[in-house]
């Protein structure tokens, strides 16, 4: 019999939900998952994380996607809106993970796909995320779902004596209002400043 899989979007958490979220995070970190922890967190730490995210959900500044297998939380992911006003139309995707016992069920794709649709429905324009450079499977999944790399900080993630790249990716959700003007890096507009010298930024050697 195949497992029943569903995606849920909580705005509050009871003790059962808190325990199940803790189970996923603790197991993923214990297995070496690249989700921002160096050691498996305690229940108090995952409870604080959950409270912060759900407060953002209730304020309209975050979303938490939980993939349940036969009613038990087995994977998760979130987006959180930037608090800076000039970036409030964008959000960061994070804490995407699946319990080791649920690998192979396509839960990561289900969660990220759901987060993309949810963010688009919330009116966001851009999603960003970071991935550890050696997390090739996750990077490939993000690329398959439309994310593109925009840069990387080399060897900035420290795990003991090892250092890994921080790969930065983005997805344009195509949610802009018709009156929005895309200026990119062109001169003019608020915050503009002139070049320091004529021809700055041009090497003059054809490259």
Check residue 200 and give its pLDDT.
56
Residues in the chain: 207
Q: What is the DSSP string of 134-197?
A: T-HHHHHHHHHTT-EEEEEEEEEEEETTEEEEEEEEEEE-----TT----TT-S-STT----SS
Q: pTM of the entire structure? A: 0.90
Integer Cα distance of 30 and 38 in angstroms:
9
CA dihedral 173, 175, 179, 180 (to 10 degrees): -30
Check residue 187 and give its pLDDT.
87
| Superfamily the domain 5-172 falls into | Gcn5-related N-acetyltransferase (GNAT) (3.40.630.30)
DSSP class of residue 80?
E
pLDDT along the chain (207 residues), means of 10: 92 98 96 89 97 98 98 98 94 97 95 98 97 95 98 94 97 94 88 78 52
Check residue 192 and give its pLDDT.
85
Domain boundaries, the chain: 5-172
Check residue 205 and give its pLDDT.
52
Integer Cα distance of 201 and 207 in angstroms:
11
Q: Say which residue the tokens 């649920």 belong to.
A: 102
Which residue stretches of 31-79 are H helix? 43-59
Integer Cα distance of 97 and 41 in angstroms:
15
Cβ proximity of 100 and 31 under 8 Å: yes
């Amino acid at each position: 019999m195949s497992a029943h899989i569903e995606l849920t979007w909580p705005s509050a958490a009871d003790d059962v939900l808190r325990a199940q979220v803790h189970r996923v995070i603790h197991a993923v970190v214990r297995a070496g998952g690249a989700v921002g922890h160096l050691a498996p967190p305690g229940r108090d730490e995952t409870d604080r994380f959950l409270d912060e995210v759900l407060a953002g959900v209730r304020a309209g500044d975050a979303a938490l996607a939980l993939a349940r297998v036969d009613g038990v939380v087995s994977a998760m992911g979130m987006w959180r809106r930037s608090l800076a006003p000039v970036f409030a139309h964008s959000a960061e995707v994070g804490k995407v993970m699946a319990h080791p016992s649920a690998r192979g069920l396509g839960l990561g794709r289900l969660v990220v796909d759901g987060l993309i649709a949810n963010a688009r429905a919330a009116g966001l324009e851009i999603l960003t995320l970071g991935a550890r450079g050696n997390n090739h499977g996750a990077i490939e999944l993000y690329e398959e779902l439309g994310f593109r790399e925009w840069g990387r900080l080399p060897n900035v993630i420290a795990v003991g004596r090892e250092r890994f790249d921080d790969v930065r990716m983005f997805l344009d959700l195509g949610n802009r209002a018709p009156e929005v003007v895309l200026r990119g890096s062109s001169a003019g507009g608020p915050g503009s400043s002139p070049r320091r010298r004529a021809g700055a930024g041009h090497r003059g050697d054809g490259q």
